[in-house]
Amino acid sequence: MKSTTYLQSQEDQFGKFIASRLELGNQQLPYEFSERLRAARTRALASRRLPLPVFQSAVDPQLQADGSVRMPFENKGKEIYNMFVSFIPLVCLVAGLMLLYEFHNDQSALELAEIDSALLIDDLPPQAYSDPAFIDFLKIKSTQKD
């Protein structure tokens, strides 16, 4: 098992250099000051950010569990199949929306044709054509026939 190693940055090296210099001067200070400095160092170390460990895999990613080597282009067929299958719901959604749009247009065209045929067949006075409720009356009349 490999251990994780931390890469020391320049900031860490500089900090260790400063700490070693301060430690030399710390030996000449009275006990009270040295205890305050120790407590401050403890708080500073507790609040610092630790670098993320660098993990190394123990197994080469190209090797299979049985020891065989997997070639990078071996699973291209599965990738293409998965990509094709993922587009099927999108195609179905678009086709459904197109069918709904066509059905709605056909229904509105049929309603307008019924109103026009009712207007042409019936004998009505000219004032009826200018009445705003006349189209609603025709719609109600055409639904009662069905």
pLDDT digits (tens, 9 = 90+) for 33-83: 888 888 988 898 888 777 777 766 554 455 566 666 565 555 666 778 888
The owner of tokens 């004032």 is 127
Tell me if residue 38 falls in helix, strand or coil: helix
pLDDT category, 29, cuts 50, 70, 90? confident
Determine the Cα–Cα distance for residues 65 and 91; give it in Å rounded to an integer: 39
Tell me if residue 69 falls in helix, strand or coil: strand
Q: What does the pLDDT read at residue 7?
A: 56
Q: At what angle do helices 31-47 and 10-26 cross, to 10 degrees?
A: 170
Q: What does the pLDDT read at residue 32?
A: 87
pLDDT digits (tens, 9 = 90+) for 89-130: 999 999 999 999 988 888 888 888 887 777 777 777 777 767
Determine the Cα–Cα distance for residues 132 and 52; give it in Å rounded to an integer: 75
Determine the Cα–Cα distance for residues 14 and 6; give it in Å rounded to an integer: 16
Does the pTM surpass 0.85? The reply is no
